[in-house]
Amino acid sequence: MPVYNEAGSLPRVLALLDEIEEPLDRVFIDDGSSDESRAILERAGEKVIRHPVNLGYVEALRTAVGFADREGYAFVVFFDGDGQHRPCDLEGVVRCHRETGADFVLGSRFLKGRRRMTPRHFVNFLMARIVTLLAGVKLTDSSSGLKLISRRFFDPAMNLPLEDMHGELVYALVRAGAEFREVPIEVAEREEGESMYHLTKALLYPLKTILCLLAAKALVAPGERAAS
Protein backbone atom coordinates (compact mmCIF):
# COMPACT_ATOMS: atom_id res chain seq x y z
CA MET A 1 0.00 0.00 0.00
CA PRO A 2 1.68 3.23 -1.15
CA VAL A 3 1.29 6.13 1.29
CA TYR A 4 2.24 9.77 0.89
CA ASN A 5 0.83 12.24 3.43
CA GLU A 6 -2.32 10.20 4.07
CA ALA A 7 -2.58 10.74 7.84
CA GLY A 8 -6.19 11.83 7.47
CA SER A 9 -7.17 8.70 5.54
CA LEU A 10 -5.13 6.00 7.28
CA PRO A 11 -7.44 5.29 10.25
CA ARG A 12 -10.24 4.56 7.77
CA VAL A 13 -7.93 2.48 5.56
CA LEU A 14 -6.79 0.39 8.53
CA ALA A 15 -10.41 -0.20 9.53
CA LEU A 16 -11.22 -1.30 5.97
CA LEU A 17 -8.27 -3.68 5.86
CA ASP A 18 -9.41 -5.30 9.09
CA GLU A 19 -12.60 -6.33 7.26
CA ILE A 20 -10.66 -8.50 4.81
CA GLU A 21 -11.11 -12.20 5.49
CA GLU A 22 -8.32 -13.32 3.16
CA PRO A 23 -5.15 -14.21 5.14
CA LEU A 24 -2.99 -11.66 3.34
CA ASP A 25 0.19 -10.07 4.65
CA ARG A 26 0.27 -6.30 4.30
CA VAL A 27 3.02 -3.74 4.05
CA PHE A 28 2.84 0.03 3.73
CA ILE A 29 5.35 1.95 1.63
CA ASP A 30 5.69 5.39 3.21
CA ASP A 31 7.01 7.45 0.33
CA GLY A 32 8.73 10.17 2.36
CA SER A 33 5.59 11.51 4.05
CA SER A 34 6.01 14.78 5.97
CA ASP A 35 2.88 14.29 8.09
CA GLU A 36 2.02 11.69 10.77
CA SER A 37 1.45 8.81 8.33
CA ARG A 38 4.41 6.74 9.49
CA ALA A 39 3.64 7.27 13.18
CA ILE A 40 0.00 6.24 12.71
CA LEU A 41 1.02 3.03 10.95
CA GLU A 42 3.72 2.12 13.46
CA ARG A 43 1.39 2.73 16.41
CA ALA A 44 -1.07 0.35 14.76
CA GLY A 45 1.65 -2.31 14.52
CA GLU A 46 1.80 -2.27 10.72
CA LYS A 47 4.90 -3.14 8.73
CA VAL A 48 6.24 0.05 7.16
CA ILE A 49 9.02 0.46 4.60
CA ARG A 50 9.98 4.11 4.46
CA HIS A 51 11.58 6.11 1.67
CA PRO A 52 13.67 8.89 3.25
CA VAL A 53 12.42 11.29 0.56
CA ASN A 54 9.42 11.32 -1.76
CA LEU A 55 10.34 9.20 -4.79
CA GLY A 56 6.91 9.05 -6.40
CA TYR A 57 4.11 6.52 -6.88
CA VAL A 58 5.94 4.17 -9.25
CA GLU A 59 8.97 3.86 -6.99
CA ALA A 60 6.72 3.13 -4.03
CA LEU A 61 5.12 0.29 -6.00
CA ARG A 62 8.53 -0.97 -7.14
CA THR A 63 9.61 -1.09 -3.50
CA ALA A 64 6.53 -3.21 -2.77
CA VAL A 65 7.29 -5.58 -5.65
CA GLY A 66 10.91 -5.87 -4.55
CA PHE A 67 9.81 -6.73 -1.02
CA ALA A 68 7.36 -9.36 -2.33
CA ASP A 69 10.10 -10.83 -4.51
CA ARG A 70 12.65 -11.07 -1.67
CA GLU A 71 10.10 -12.61 0.68
CA GLY A 72 9.01 -15.21 -1.86
CA TYR A 73 5.37 -14.16 -2.22
CA ALA A 74 3.32 -15.72 -5.04
CA PHE A 75 1.72 -12.39 -5.94
CA VAL A 76 1.48 -8.76 -4.90
CA VAL A 77 -1.72 -6.70 -4.69
CA PHE A 78 -1.72 -2.90 -4.76
CA PHE A 79 -4.35 -1.20 -2.58
CA ASP A 80 -4.38 2.60 -2.40
CA GLY A 81 -3.79 4.32 0.93
CA ASP A 82 -6.41 7.03 0.41
CA GLY A 83 -9.49 5.09 1.54
CA GLN A 84 -11.14 4.82 -1.88
CA HIS A 85 -10.84 1.07 -2.38
CA ARG A 86 -13.24 -1.49 -0.85
CA PRO A 87 -12.09 -4.67 0.95
CA CYS A 88 -14.57 -6.80 -1.00
CA ASP A 89 -13.02 -5.62 -4.27
CA LEU A 90 -9.53 -6.53 -3.11
CA GLU A 91 -10.83 -9.98 -2.26
CA GLY A 92 -12.46 -10.16 -5.69
CA VAL A 93 -9.14 -9.44 -7.40
CA VAL A 94 -7.41 -12.17 -5.38
CA ARG A 95 -10.27 -14.61 -6.03
CA CYS A 96 -10.03 -14.01 -9.78
CA HIS A 97 -6.31 -14.80 -9.71
CA ARG A 98 -6.84 -18.00 -7.76
CA GLU A 99 -9.77 -19.21 -9.85
CA THR A 100 -8.39 -18.37 -13.30
CA GLY A 101 -4.63 -18.37 -12.80
CA ALA A 102 -4.45 -14.89 -14.35
CA ASP A 103 -1.05 -13.24 -13.93
CA PHE A 104 -2.40 -9.70 -13.92
CA VAL A 105 -5.81 -8.87 -12.47
CA LEU A 106 -7.07 -5.28 -12.60
CA GLY A 107 -9.99 -3.81 -10.72
CA SER A 108 -11.93 -1.72 -13.25
CA ARG A 109 -14.26 1.11 -12.31
CA PHE A 110 -15.70 1.11 -15.83
CA LEU A 111 -16.13 -2.57 -16.73
CA LYS A 112 -19.90 -2.16 -16.43
CA GLY A 113 -19.83 0.88 -18.68
CA ARG A 114 -20.33 3.73 -16.20
CA ARG A 115 -18.04 6.69 -16.89
CA ARG A 116 -18.38 10.46 -16.50
CA MET A 117 -16.69 12.13 -19.46
CA THR A 118 -14.66 14.74 -17.60
CA PRO A 119 -11.26 15.65 -19.14
CA ARG A 120 -9.53 13.22 -16.76
CA HIS A 121 -11.97 10.41 -17.57
CA PHE A 122 -11.58 11.10 -21.30
CA VAL A 123 -7.81 10.65 -21.00
CA ASN A 124 -8.42 7.38 -19.12
CA PHE A 125 -10.81 6.23 -21.87
CA LEU A 126 -8.38 7.22 -24.64
CA MET A 127 -5.41 5.42 -23.06
CA ALA A 128 -7.55 2.34 -22.40
CA ARG A 129 -8.49 2.24 -26.09
CA ILE A 130 -4.85 2.60 -27.17
CA VAL A 131 -3.70 -0.21 -24.87
CA THR A 132 -6.63 -2.39 -26.00
CA LEU A 133 -5.58 -1.98 -29.63
CA LEU A 134 -1.87 -2.56 -28.95
CA ALA A 135 -2.17 -5.43 -26.46
CA GLY A 136 -5.08 -7.28 -28.01
CA VAL A 137 -6.93 -7.56 -24.70
CA LYS A 138 -9.88 -5.48 -23.55
CA LEU A 139 -8.89 -2.76 -21.07
CA THR A 140 -11.60 -0.46 -19.73
CA ASP A 141 -9.74 1.33 -16.92
CA SER A 142 -6.23 2.55 -17.70
CA SER A 143 -5.54 4.17 -14.31
CA SER A 144 -6.91 1.86 -11.63
CA GLY A 145 -4.72 1.50 -8.55
CA LEU A 146 -6.20 -1.85 -7.46
CA LYS A 147 -4.29 -4.59 -9.23
CA LEU A 148 -2.57 -7.95 -8.71
CA ILE A 149 0.65 -9.15 -10.35
CA SER A 150 1.83 -12.74 -10.09
CA ARG A 151 5.43 -13.58 -9.24
CA ARG A 152 6.14 -14.62 -12.85
CA PHE A 153 5.97 -10.98 -13.87
CA PHE A 154 7.67 -9.17 -11.00
CA ASP A 155 10.76 -8.58 -13.16
CA PRO A 156 9.19 -6.31 -15.81
CA ALA A 157 7.32 -4.41 -13.09
CA MET A 158 10.66 -3.78 -11.40
CA ASN A 159 12.81 -2.94 -14.40
CA LEU A 160 10.83 -1.42 -17.27
CA PRO A 161 10.44 2.35 -17.71
CA LEU A 162 6.92 3.08 -16.44
CA GLU A 163 4.89 6.26 -15.94
CA ASP A 164 2.59 5.06 -13.14
CA MET A 165 2.22 1.27 -13.55
CA HIS A 166 -1.18 1.60 -15.19
CA GLY A 167 -1.99 1.12 -18.88
CA GLU A 168 1.63 0.84 -19.94
CA LEU A 169 2.18 -1.99 -17.45
CA VAL A 170 -0.84 -3.86 -18.82
CA TYR A 171 0.66 -3.67 -22.30
CA ALA A 172 4.15 -4.67 -21.17
CA LEU A 173 3.00 -7.69 -19.17
CA VAL A 174 0.55 -8.90 -21.79
CA ARG A 175 3.29 -8.59 -24.41
CA ALA A 176 5.55 -10.65 -22.13
CA GLY A 177 2.89 -13.39 -21.96
CA ALA A 178 0.78 -12.52 -18.93
CA GLU A 179 -2.83 -13.69 -18.81
CA PHE A 180 -4.88 -10.55 -18.12
CA ARG A 181 -8.29 -10.16 -16.48
CA GLU A 182 -10.43 -7.24 -15.34
CA VAL A 183 -12.97 -7.46 -12.53
CA PRO A 184 -15.54 -4.79 -11.67
CA ILE A 185 -14.93 -2.59 -8.64
CA GLU A 186 -16.37 0.56 -7.09
CA VAL A 187 -14.43 3.37 -5.45
CA ALA A 188 -15.41 5.91 -2.83
CA GLU A 189 -14.76 9.62 -3.12
CA ARG A 190 -11.49 10.79 -1.55
CA GLU A 191 -12.28 12.32 1.85
CA GLU A 192 -8.81 13.48 2.93
CA GLY A 193 -5.51 14.46 1.33
CA GLU A 194 -4.81 15.39 -2.28
CA SER A 195 -4.84 13.33 -5.46
CA MET A 196 -1.51 12.81 -7.21
CA TYR A 197 -3.22 13.71 -10.50
CA HIS A 198 -2.77 17.48 -10.46
CA LEU A 199 -3.24 19.53 -13.64
CA THR A 200 0.37 19.35 -14.86
CA LYS A 201 0.52 15.59 -14.43
CA ALA A 202 -2.85 15.14 -16.13
CA LEU A 203 -1.63 17.08 -19.15
CA LEU A 204 1.69 15.22 -19.42
CA TYR A 205 0.30 11.77 -18.56
CA PRO A 206 -0.79 10.74 -22.11
CA LEU A 207 2.55 11.71 -23.67
CA LYS A 208 4.62 9.98 -20.99
CA THR A 209 2.46 6.86 -21.15
CA ILE A 210 2.79 6.64 -24.93
CA LEU A 211 6.58 6.90 -24.60
CA CYS A 212 6.48 4.06 -22.06
CA LEU A 213 4.35 1.98 -24.42
CA LEU A 214 6.94 2.47 -27.15
CA ALA A 215 9.72 1.53 -24.74
CA ALA A 216 7.86 -1.65 -23.74
CA LYS A 217 7.40 -2.59 -27.38
CA ALA A 218 11.15 -2.19 -27.94
CA LEU A 219 12.35 -3.84 -24.72
CA VAL A 220 9.88 -6.66 -24.09
CA ALA A 221 10.19 -9.74 -26.25
CA PRO A 222 6.80 -11.26 -27.08
CA GLY A 223 6.12 -14.14 -24.72
CA GLU A 224 3.80 -17.11 -24.93
CA ARG A 225 0.62 -16.45 -22.99
CA ALA A 226 -0.25 -18.98 -20.32
CA ALA A 227 -3.32 -21.10 -21.02
CA SER A 228 -6.54 -19.81 -19.46
Q: Sheet holding 180-184: strands in order across?
A: 75-78, 147-150, 104-108, 180-184
How far is the C-alpha of 24 from the C-alpha of 47, rounded, in Å?
Answer: 13
Helix (H, G, I), strand (E, B) or coil at 34: coil
**Is 0.85 topped by the overall pTM?**
yes
**Under a CB-based contact definition with an 8 Å cutoff, are residues 165 and 212 in contact?**
no
52-56, 114-118, 156-160, 171-175: range with lowest mean pLDDT: 114-118
Q: Minimal CA–CA distance to 14: which of 43, 57, 50? A: 43
**Under a CB-based contact definition with an 8 Å cutoff, are residues 93 and 78 in contact?**
no
Q: What is the pLDDT of residue 153?
A: 96
Residue of higher predicted confidence among 43 and 188: 43
Strand 147-150 and strand 75-78: pairing? antiparallel
For each of the domains in the chain, give its residue range(s) and CATH number, in order of start.
Answer: 2-219 (3.90.550.10)
Question: Quick check: 228 pLDDT over 90?
Answer: no
- The confidence band for 225, taking pLDDT boundaries of 50, 70 and 90, is low
- Inter-axis angle of helices 167-176 and 119-135, nearest 10: 10
Q: What are phi and psi of 16, to 5 degrees?
A: -65, -45
Q: What is the pLDDT of residue 35?
A: 96
Tell me the pLDDT tens digit for each residue of 111-144. 887 666 677 788 888 999 999 999 999 999 999 9
Cα 36 from chain centre: 24
Question: Quick check: 4 pLDDT over 90?
Answer: yes
Q: What is the pLDDT of residue 227?
A: 44
Tell me the pLDDT tens digit for each residue of 65-94. 999 999 999 999 999 988 889 999 999 999
Residue ranges in 18-151 assigned as alpha helix (H)? 37-43, 57-71, 87-100, 119-135
Give the angle subtended at the CA of 98 by the CAs of 96 and 101, to the nearest 5°: 85
Element (H, E) at 147: strand 147-150
> Exposure pattern of 102-113 as b/e (b: 16+ CB <10 Å)?
bbbbbbbbbbee
Q: What is the distance between the terminal CA atoms of the chain, rounded to a whole angstrom?
A: 29
Tell me the pLDDT tens digit for each residue of 148-169. 999 999 999 999 989 889 999 9
Q: What would the mean pLDDT of 16-38 be, rounded to a whole number?
A: 93
**Under a CB-based contact definition with an 8 Å cutoff, are residues 34 and 61 in contact?**
no
- The confidence band for 192, taking pLDDT boundaries of 50, 70 and 90, is low
Q: What is the pLDDT of residue 26?
A: 94
Mean pLDDT estimate for the chain: 89
